[in-house]
Amino acid sequence: MNRLALGGKADLKKTSIAYPFTTQNGYTLLNVLLSLSLFIFMSGSFGTLLHYLMTKEGNEAIYQHEWTNTVEQMLLEIKQGGNVRVINTGRGIEFETQQGQTIRYEKYQQVLRKRVDLKGHVLVLQHVADVAFSLADGQVSMKVISSNQSVYEASFPIYQYFGGDKP
């Protein structure tokens, strides 16, 4: 029978899970600090290591969600804007909003950026090797070539051309 059931003391040497560790002097502060610093180093390095392993050298494509967000944002702004014109020999587009601001999308280094009244620097697409805008038949066409030579194209109707509201 179990000694505890009879009201006696249990033999800790036989029943305790921690018995093999009771012969040690203790877990010192130095052990804690070493373990903690090793854990922090490993957990901090994990994200960098994972990013390094997931990123392939030279595979600098435009992410699909970036492209979708850029196209939707430009469609909305061009729809609400007016006086659309292509600038810099097809390397940029400029139009005016209903509030009188001038919105400009242009290639800058390896990104497509948005500027308001020639101020600011909002990145809308990364890894852009080339961009070409054209204006014909009441629509703006945009062709973007990424750094890995993938081609992306989009077209935006100019509603004013079709008799839409003036800004």
Q: Tens digit of pLDDT for each residue in 36-52?
A: 999 999 998 888 888 87
Provide the pLDDT confidence category of residue 167 given band limits of 50, 70 and 90. Answer: very low
30-44, 54-68, 114-128: which has the minimum mean pLDDT? 54-68
Q: Is the pTM of this model over 0.85?
A: no
- 69 with 129, same domain? yes
Q: What is the largest CA-CA distance in the chain?
A: 97
- 48 with 121, same domain? no
Count structural domains, the chain. Answer: 2
In a domain, 166, yes or no: no
For a pLDDT cut of 70, what percent of the chain falls above it?
Answer: 76
- 78 with 44, same domain? no
Q: Which domain holds residue 137?
A: 64-157
Ramachandran quadrant class, 164 (left: phi over 0; alpha: psi -120 to 50; beta: rest): beta
Is residue 129 scored above 80 in pLDDT? yes
Is residue 6 scored above 70 in pLDDT? no
In a domain, 7, yes or no: no
